[in-house]
Structure 1
Amino acid sequence: MHDVRTHRLGNGLRVLTIHRPYLHRAVAAVYVHVGSRHERPRHNGLSHFLEHMLFRGSAALPSAALVNDAVESLGASMNAATHSDFTMFELSAPPDALAPAAAILGGLLTAPVFADRKVEVGIVREELLEDVDDRGRDISPDNHARRLVFGEHPLGAPIAGTAHNVTRFTDDDLREHHARHYAAGNMVACAAGPLTHDELLAAVKGSLHEIPEGPLRAAKPFTRRHRRGRRSLVPHSASQTALRIAYPCEGLDDPGGAATELLLRVIDDGMSTRLYRRVCEERGLAYDVSADIERFAEVGVIDVAASVARASVGAVVEEVLEIFRELAGAGPTRAELEKAQRRFGFDLDALDDDAQHLCDFYGPAELFGQRRSPDDRREELLSLSTEDLRAAAARVLDPARANVVLVGPKAAKHEAEIKSLLKSFRARWRDVEP
């Protein structure tokens, strides 16, 4: 059991401290309840752009160069990431440098100067170019998959937005978004390392107490019922076709999601699990293939991803659908279940070795009201049976709910083949018990 304590600053900000005496680095992280799902279409990408702009300087260090030099001179490093539903800022430092490093991060969060916006626009535009072709068409299979699953809801929008939006964002847009979302009630901080709880709290308290008070900002809920899956076939000149098969699934608020999460471990958690073994090792259809799950509060999404030769597209889709049909019909073997449970347990044990992983385990969970200990998670997963996972597969992986994306040469030529495969597996799914 981890030694975790919760503190509340005068402004209402929750701060978690995690004392791990054997670690040699300390980490401070701040999680903000804002991401692309909190944006309207006109402002899509603003949360991500704001994250970038905060690193352009603070009142105390009014340029990116000064910030970077100050952080690195302490032996520290700092990074950030924007997700659909939250933004993360994290720094790692020698324990005796945690307080001054946290003061730098606190200055960026509370007193940003938004310097050199045009320079940062250029940087983000270069990032966005990775997802478009030379005609400006979106060729990101992940972007297309999210649009199929979530439609016009903000969860279906790209996290980084569009070049058009980023180009026209103003300083006022940044200030308004910052003032609305970067408030104490909408944030959680976490500090972990060899320092005592009092030392960890003191290290971050001085830099975060200036964050203004403010409420938790709710996002627009996703309420659309999922019926038939859809297809997006995007032509793109390349040597391979990027494939995605995406399914909506349970969110964090749904207790049934635990079985689905463990089911994904049975499907893809190393080269011996069903997906990689059958697609790659046995049939040689791809260099790599993966299946991932992301869960938001009220909904989640499963993504199967591979890049394959055009001639192999149909065979890969068929193999994936067959694996899912088998799991929905007979469930995993007892050996598969126990291996998935053990490997999940190993990951929980490994949290002890990394202050950053500890913060990322506890911080977002506190932000979303889902905080549980690793022991609680372990007990939940160990309580699941092969029948629980079979029922999850039957519930979630129905081919009628499959959203298929192809981005590659002559993608539209696969329309009839994909449609026929899905129709065939829908007919065979009638024998699957709910």
Structure 2
Amino acid sequence: MRDEWVLPNGLRVLGERLPHLRSVSIGAWMHVGSMMEMPEENGLSHFIEHMIFKGTTKRTVRQIAEEMDAVGGQLNAFTGKDCTCCYAKVIDEDIELAIDIIADMVMNATMDEKELDKERGVVLEEISMDEDSPEDLVHDLLAKAQFGAQSLGQPILGPAEQVAAYTRANLMDYKNKHYLPRETVVALAGNYEPAQVQALMEKYFGTWQGGESALVVPKQQVLTGRRVVKEKDTEQLHICLGYPGFAYGTDDVYAVAVMNNVLGGAMSSRLFQRIREELGMAYSIYTYPNSYQGIGTYGIYAGISPKNGDKVLEEIDSELKRFLKDGMTDKEFRDSKTQLRSGYLMGLESSGSRMQAMGRSTLLNGHPTDHQKTIAAIEAVTPEMVMDVAHKVLTAEPSLAVAGKGAEKYAE
């Protein structure tokens, strides 16, 4: 059972009632991420996501933590390429506290100068940690290879030198420009009373004011055949291949998901079985689609010994060519669809997963995910549809990102 309200300030509220639960997951989804940042703003979306935890006009940083901990709730946030989400999970009797705290953080964060300087150090440490994790780093390098100077090529965390220089005024100006009720969706899933939730949303979010949104989602183009490498003193070599994919909300994402399970999305997939199980040349190898507004990508990752780099790239190329030439077996196709359907249905058992699907879909597509239509779309995928998207994706010249020992040999 779903509920939907739009407050006078333009804030959209979506709810999915799950009366068999005692919990409720709530998230405020803002239409802002690194994809919306100008180069001189890179990292501000993520920095602000940190700072909304560092005190408001009503609560200190300690009070935010203590009030949620006192009821055994969970409070967190994340920044993506195309959105920022602040979310909580509490038992149903504490729903007002969760709505109050989330609204307070989103609307009333003070960006205190002392807290900002302390949190700047935390963000810089996070950037250093990412730099010291080659598996994370190589995905940032792949984004740079596939998008160059476009905003999707920027790291979510931002460059350390810019984060070190941002002022309170920079954060407040950016927040005031992008944290707007008309560009925010509040989604909740779990056990709640609709009349109570509507009243609470009006009480805590109804005073939020903001002008008309000037948001323009920048158009992006996937670049092919580019290489970005970074030499690191590591034991492993980390490789990513990147191809064009499909945009969030398009019908092709279901066929791509089936293809993904066959190629590298599961333990029984071709690349996992060939490169890890048969050749013993990788501990971790997987494939993954990424979908954003208006554009998508498809990636392959492998963490390997430097001596095996060329051989693994040859084996990946061989497996992809074999897939394009011979297609899938009937068993691979059936198993992949079953995996996809089962994974989706099991995800629906989590109030958090339901909240996230509903929030992101409404923010980016303008409407919540319809679970029955999603299952029907998965079941409607045919082998011909899978091979059609495979030829669109895998025949493009891939971009290559490499990080680790011996990476420089793969530079152009």
Q: Within 5 Å, give how 1:70-85 maps onto structure 2.
A: 70-85=67-82
| Counterpart amino acid of residue 42 in structure 2 | N
Give the match's secondary structure for 1:287: strand
| Counterpart amino acid of residue 294 in structure 2 | E
Contact 2:258–2:386 at 8 Å: present in 1 too?
Answer: yes
In the aligned structure 1, how far is the partner of 2:196 from the partner of 2:332? Answer: 44
Contact 1:192–1:358 at 8 Å: present in 2 too?
Answer: yes
Could you list the per-position Cα deviations for residues 204-261 of structure 1 after superposition, in whole angstroms to 9, with x for gaps in the alignment?
Answer: 44222222244445344334364x4112232111111111111121212543333223
Q: Within 5 Å, give how 1:344-359 maps onto structure 2.
A: 344-359=340-355
Matched, 1:396 2:383: no
Structure 1 residue 265 displacement after superposition? 2.1
Matched, 1:238 2:234: yes
* 2:44 aligns with one of 43, 46, 67: 46
Matched, 1:189 2:218: no
| Counterpart amino acid of residue 386 in structure 1 | P
In the aligned structure 1, how far is the partner of 2:345 from the partner of 2:197? Answer: 23
CA RMSD across the alignment: 2.1
Contact 2:28–2:102 at 8 Å: present in 1 too?
Answer: no
Contact 1:56–1:114 at 8 Å: present in 2 too?
Answer: yes
Give the match's secondary structure for 1:343: helix
Structure 1 residue 132 displacement after superposition? 3.2
Contact 1:331–1:387 at 8 Å: present in 2 too?
Answer: no
Contact 1:289–1:306 at 8 Å: present in 2 too?
Answer: yes
* 1:327 aligns with one of 303, 323, 329: 323
Q: Number of paired residues? A: 409
Contact 2:135–2:238 at 8 Å: present in 1 too?
Answer: no
Contact 1:110–1:210 at 8 Å: present in 2 too?
Answer: no
In the aligned structure 1, how far is the partner of 2:135 from the partner of 2:280? Answer: 29
Structure 1 residue 353 displacement after superposition? 1.7
Contact 2:12–2:185 at 8 Å: present in 1 too?
Answer: yes
Deviates more, 1:250-259 or 1:106-115: 250-259
Q: Which residue of 1 aligns with 2:119?
A: 120
In the aligned structure 1, how far is the partner of 2:394 from the partner of 2:385? Answer: 14
Change (3 A) 1:285 1:216: farther
Structure 1 residue 269 displacement after superposition? 3.1
* 2:357 aligns with one of 343, 348, 361: 361
In the aligned structure 2, how far is the partner of 1:372 from the partner of 1:72? Answer: 31
| Counterpart amino acid of residue 16 in structure 2 | I
Q: Within 5 Å, give how 1:258-297 maps onto structure 2.
A: 258-297=254-293
Matched, 1:342 2:338: yes
TM-score scaled by structure 2? Answer: 0.94
Change (3 A) 1:8 1:54: same
Matched, 1:68 2:28: no
Structure 1 residue 125 displacement after superposition? 0.5
In the aligned structure 1, how far is the partner of 2:408 from the partner of 2:262? Answer: 32
In the aligned structure 1, how far is the partner of 2:40 from the partner of 2:92? Answer: 43
| Counterpart amino acid of residue 316 in structure 2 | V
Contact 1:28–1:189 at 8 Å: present in 2 too?
Answer: yes
Q: Which residue of 2 aligns with 1:166?
A: 163
TM-score scaled by structure 1? Answer: 0.89
Q: Which residue of 2 aligns with 1:36?
A: 34
In the aligned structure 1, how far is the partner of 2:303 from the partner of 2:135? Answer: 17
Change (3 A) 1:292 1:401: same
In the aligned structure 2, how far is the partner of 1:76 from the partner of 1:209? Answer: 24
Give the match's secondary structure for 2:283: coil
Give the match's secondary structure for 2:144: helix
Contact 1:26–1:194 at 8 Å: present in 2 too?
Answer: yes
Percent identity, please: 23
In the aligned structure 1, how far is the partner of 2:214 from the partner of 2:344? Answer: 30
Q: Which residue of 2 aligns with 1:94?
A: 91
In the aligned structure 2, how far is the partner of 1:38 from the partner of 1:320? Answer: 34
In the aligned structure 2, how far is the partner of 1:65 from the partner of 1:176? Answer: 25
Structure 1 residue 41 displacement after superposition? 0.9
Change (3 A) 1:217 1:81: farther
| Counterpart amino acid of residue 331 in structure 2 | A
Q: Which residue of 2 aligns with 1:148?
A: 145
| Counterpart amino acid of residue 119 in structure 2 | E
In the aligned structure 1, how far is the partner of 2:235 from the partner of 2:135? Answer: 17
| Counterpart amino acid of residue 69 in structure 1 | E
Contact 1:26–1:191 at 8 Å: present in 2 too?
Answer: yes
Unpaired segments ≥5 residues, structure 2? none
In the aligned structure 2, how far is the partner of 1:200 from the partner of 1:267? Answer: 44
Structure 1 residue 186 displacement after superposition? 0.4
Deviates more, 1:321-330 or 1:197-206: 197-206
| Counterpart amino acid of residue 125 in structure 1 | L
In the aligned structure 2, how far is the partner of 1:344 from the partner of 1:238? Answer: 35
Q: Which residue of 2 aligns with 1:255?
A: 251
